[in-house]
Amino acid sequence: MAEIDSAVFRQVLGAYPTGVTIVASPFGDATNTARAMVIGSFGSVSLDPPLVQFMPAKSSATWAEMAESGKYCVNVLADDQVDTCNKFFKKDVDPFSEVEWEMTDNGSPRIAGCLAWIDCDVVEAVDAGDHWIVLGKVVAMGHNGGEDGAEGKPLLFFKGGYGTFGEL
């Protein structure tokens, strides 16, 4: 089989756009401490039973801390949340001290101003090369809109930059 060059792999896969989420878990014994990662690899898996997934790198120290809780909340970012996204990516300061958030009934962090949130219990972390595929059973969910679904536009990631959705 031909060798796959890592730069080409990144470039080719960068042609596939993703949404941007912050996946967040509680951490430690205190009720107000939490850990989170900016994640593009979130996706819907199954309706019955309701399952979703995301893929943290095995090298991620943040995921190692998040995994201890056995749960996570996926926060789907809106196009006006680039600053929030950067705070959670850079982690210079604890991002949870800089944004509005609360714990869900299931005890995972829900961040204010997002399009949608999906609250999960971890079912399984599947071994997948240098990443894990973390399957979550959905225990609660919601969005910021009415009967037609979420209101506002999503933050999207494409070829290393941020953008949003425009209808053709």
Ligand X SMILES: Cc1cc2nc3c(=O)[nH]c(=O)nc-3n(C[C@H](O)[C@H](O)[C@H](O)COP(=O)(O)O)c2cc1C
Distances (CA, A) of 94 to 89, 129, 149: 11, 30, 31
- The single-letter DSSP state of residue 153 is -
The single residue among 24, 34, 39, 120 that binds ligand X, judged by CB under 6 A, is 39
Instruction: Give CA angle at 27 (116, 160), nearest 5°.
Output: 50
Interface region with ligand X, contact rule CB under 6 A, candidates 51-59, 103-111, 121-129, 137-145: 51-59
The single residue among 19, 34, 52, 56 that binds ligand X, judged by CB under 6 A, is 56
Minimal distance in Å, beta carbon 116 to ligand X?
17
Do the Cβ atoms of 27 and 69 come closer than 8 Å?
A: yes
Interface region with ligand X, contact rule CB under 6 A, candidates 56-64, 98-106, 118-126, 143-151: 56-64
The single residue among 45, 57, 103, 140 that binds ligand X, judged by CB under 6 A, is 57
Instruction: Kindly determine how many residues on this chain lie close enough to bind ligand X according to the rule CB under 6 A.
Output: 14
CA–CA dist 14, 50 (Å, integer): 28
Minimal distance in Å, beta carbon 16 to ligand X?
12
Distances (CA, A) of 119 to 26, 40, 57, 91: 12, 17, 21, 23
User: Judged by CB under 6 A, does residue 43 bind ligand X?
Assistant: no
